[in-house]
């Protein structure tokens, strides 16, 4: 429900197309989704560095980082998760309009929420990157000790343990992080961006 009233969109005199031309690449949103510990943040950090070294203008939005500021008033209930992704979708749309390649690393467990972000972006701008890894593999890695805490009942509504994760049905990119290294994942995504003539 929109609460704002008496508002009018104020257009810029610089278009998205002009920004993209100046940057020398298109703008897309690389939406990393997967279980906690599947490699979303690790791969997005490495990819951001690789794109930067190629002169590609990009920016990374990370789930934990965003919850330190913009979304620090949200918890992990289904309703809060939905609002978390809605806000990130809107921020990503602004960054796409700015001509950037945006990398987002969010569990974003519900297909409906990810599909909503796809719908608010232009055709071809939403690139779903599924960092595929089993719960067992993620639990074995458990870099933040979150699975251990969830199993002990210290964390409620933890995705993959007592909250659902709806894997993408037709993602643009599947990165199997049980089979591929971070470097291989980065190469795979860069190849996709080149093949799609994004960069």
Nearest-angstrom CA–CA distance, 156 and 190: 36
40 is in an annotated binding site: yes
Q: Phi/psi at 78 (nearest 5 deg)?
A: -55, -40
36 is in an annotated binding site: yes
Our answer to whether residue 134 is catalytic in this structure is no
94 is in an annotated binding site: no
5: exposed, middle or buried (C-beta count within 10 Å: 0-12, 13-18, 19+)? exposed
149 is in an annotated binding site: no
**Do residues 103 and 30 lie in contact, with contact meaning Cβ atoms separated by under 8 Å?**
yes
39 is in an annotated binding site: yes
Nearest of 97, 81, 68, 84 to residue 166 by alpha carbon:
81
134 is in an annotated binding site: no
Catalytic pick among 27, 58, 92, 108: 108
> What DSSP letter does each residue of 130-159 carry, written as one string?
EEE--HHHHHHH-TTSHHHHHHTTSSSS-B
92 is in an annotated binding site: no
124 is in an annotated binding site: no
**Do residues 145 and 156 lie in contact, with contact meaning Cβ atoms separated by under 8 Å?**
no
> Which residues are annotated binding-site positions for ATP?
34-41
Active site residue ranges:
108
């Amino acid at each position: 429900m929109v609460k704002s009233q008496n508002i009018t969109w104020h257009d810029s005199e610089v278009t998205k197309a002009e920004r993209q031309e100046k940057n020398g690449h298109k703008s897309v949103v690389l939406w990393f989704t997967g279980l906690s510990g599947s490699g979303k943040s690790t791969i997005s950090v490495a990819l951001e560095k690789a794109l930067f070294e190629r002169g590609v203008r990009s920016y990374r939005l990370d789930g934990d980082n965003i919850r330190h500021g913009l979304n620090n008033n949200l918890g992990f209930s289904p309703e809060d998760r939905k609002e978390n992704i809605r806000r990130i979708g809107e921020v990503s749309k602004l960054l796409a309009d700015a001509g950037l390649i945006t990398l987002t690393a969010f569990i974003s467990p519900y297909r409906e929420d990810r599909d909503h972000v796809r719908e608010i972006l232009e055709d071809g701008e939403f690139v779903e990157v599924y960092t595929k890894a089993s719960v067992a593999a993620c639990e074995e890695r458990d870099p933040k000790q979150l699975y251990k805490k969830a199993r002990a009942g210290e964390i409620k509504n933890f995705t993959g343990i007592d909250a659902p994760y709806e894997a993408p049905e037709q993602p643009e990119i599947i990165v199997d992080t049980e089979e591929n290294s971070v470097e291989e994942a980065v190469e795979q995504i860069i190849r996709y961006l080149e093949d799609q003539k994004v960069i």
